[in-house]
């Protein structure tokens, strides 16, 4: 769906972004083959460095695992010795405080590693394993960062768009699109704002394409970066792809049936109901007396505004809406007094 520069305003207030002269000239330079080769070479170097580091850490962890196994064996031996000594002490006569320890008792005590050394070696092993995990995380994240940077250099624009260098322009206030509002209204608002840019024929496609991208936010910007390379050769291509992707959010036309299907529920404020009525009546093409008749029949039966319409059934739609404002104020004043 192509949109010309003669589109009319949607009439809705929209958040705007400001483009300053300092942001021009703007040119999106396509990724050159030499840059791709450089990035791939860096990725290969990072992978090689990662493999070498991982191999070294694995070898060190293997050595420490063997050492820890010996430590655990020595600890078990030492514990068995303590248990056997305790049992022997219970069975044998109690030694006096000044009695010397025999040579056999000393020989049974392991002299290779004490408990403190065992704990220090275990802590050392855990520290090395933690370092290995951190190094692995850093080395595996580096290629991912390079890939993200390479993706950011991609552009769906063809050389026809990227090679044009834009001149400086005056400040422009452009609407923004976050991916959930009416895309047709956004394109219309953008075209109206771009009228003040006064672009030449050579600059038009480049200016419209590049500035339109600056209006995209959040998921809408992610959608643009995911477009296929060299798939956008003009603003017509870009706006058609944009509308095709977000057509589900386009405001749908209403019919007279929608007017008659309105329902002023008990307890619903008159302001809320009239907002729905005005939204629908602005989209349908029906005579005023039909619209007012549907309003009278869809209002709550106990509504004072409904009774007023029946007393003056020949009001036009603008008059009926203006009259409803009086009843809305009365209703809100009554609710405020009750709340106090």
The Cα–Cα gap between 123 and 118 comes to 9
pLDDT, tens only, 203-256: 888 999 989 999 999 899 989 988 988 899 999 999 999 998 888 766 667 788
22 and 166, same domain (yes or no) = yes
Residue 192 lies in a domain: yes
Whether 9 is in a domain gets the answer no
The CA distances from residue 82 to 72, 112, 119, in Å, are 15, 16, 18
Does the residue 3 lie in any domain? no
State pLDDT tens for residues 76-88. Answer: 665 565 555 555 5
Q: Say whether pLDDT at 190 is over 90.
A: yes
Mean pLDDT of the chain: 74
pTM: 0.39
Does a structural domain hold residue 299? yes
The 10s digit of each residue's pLDDT in 150-168 is: 555 678 899 888 888 887 7
Q: How far is 72 from 105, CA to CA, in rounded Å?
A: 22
CA distance 103 to 252: 100
State the pLDDT at residue 196: 84
pLDDT at 251: 62
Whether 6 is covered by a domain: the verdict is no
Predicted local distance difference test score (pLDDT) of residue 64: 64
Structural domain harbouring 221? 16-29+160-249
Same-domain status, 92 and 203:
no
Task: Count how many domains the chain has.
Answer: 3
**Do 135 and 52 reside in the same domain of the chain?**
yes
Residue 278 corresponds to which tokens in the numbers above?
A: 């005005």
Residue 124 maps to a domain: yes
41/74 same-domain check: yes
Domain boundary, last residue among 195, 218, 249: 249
Q: Do 100 and 23 fall into the same domain?
A: no
Same domain, 137 and 55: yes
- Pair (200, 227) in one structural domain: yes
Residue whose C-alpha is closest to residue 248's, from 280, 281, 276, 223: 223
Residue 25 and residue 59 in one domain:
no
- 261: which strand partners? none
Identify whether residues 272 and 196 lie together within a single domain: no
Are 73 and 119 in the same domain? Answer: yes
**Residue 144 and residue 41 share a domain:** yes
Answer with the one of 114, 129, 152 that is the final residue of a domain: 152
**Domain identity same for 49 and 37:** yes
Q: Which two tokens stand for residue 318?
A: 């603008």
Answer whether residue 7 is part of any domain: no
188 and 210 in contact (C-beta within 8 Å)?
no
More reliable by pLDDT, 133 or 256:
256
Domain stops at, among 152, 181, 206: 152
Is 8 among the domain residues? no
């Amino acid at each position: 769906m192509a949109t010309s520069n003669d589109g009319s305003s949607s009439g809705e207030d929209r958040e705007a972004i400001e483009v300053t002269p300092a942001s021009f000239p703007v040119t999106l330079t396509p990724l050159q083959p030499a840059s791709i080769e450089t990035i791939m070479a860096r990725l290969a170097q990072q992978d090689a460095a990662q493999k070498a580091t991982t191999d070294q850490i694995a070898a060190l962890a293997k050595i420490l695992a063997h050492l820890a196994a010996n430590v655990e064996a020595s600890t078990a031996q030492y514990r068995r010795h303590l248990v056997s000594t305790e049992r022997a002490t219970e069975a044998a006569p109690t030694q006096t405080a000044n009695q010397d320890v025999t040579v056999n008792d000393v020989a049974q005590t392991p002299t290779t590693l004490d408990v403190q050394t065992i704990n220090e070696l275990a802590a050392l092993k855990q520290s090395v394993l933690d370092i290995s995990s951190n190094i692995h995380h850093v080395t595996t994240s580096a290629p991912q960062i390079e890939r993200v940077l390479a993706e950011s250099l991609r552009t769906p624009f063809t050389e026809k768009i990227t090679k044009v260098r834009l001149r400086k322009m005056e400040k422009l206030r452009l609407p923004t699109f976050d991916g959930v509002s009416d895309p047709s209204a956004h394109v219309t608002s953008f075209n109206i704002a771009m009228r003040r840019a006064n672009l030449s024929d050579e600059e038009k496609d480049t200016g419209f394409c590049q500035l339109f991208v600056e209006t995209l936010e959040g998921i809408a910007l992610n959608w643009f970066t995911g477009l296929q390379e060299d798939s956008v050769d003009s603003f017509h291509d870009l706006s058609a792809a944009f509308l095709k992707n977000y057509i589900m959010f386009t405001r749908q036309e209403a019919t007279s049936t929608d007017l008659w299907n309105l329902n002023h529920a008990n307890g619903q404020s008159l302001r809320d109901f009239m907002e729905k009525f005005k939204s629908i009546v602005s989209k349908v093409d029906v005579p005023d007396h039909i619209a007012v008749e549907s309003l009278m029949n869809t209002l709550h039966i106990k509504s004072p505004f409904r009774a007023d319409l029946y007393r003056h059934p020949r009001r036009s739609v603008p008059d009926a809406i203006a009259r409803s404002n009086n009843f809305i104020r009365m209703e809100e004043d009554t609710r405020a007094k009750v709340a106090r």
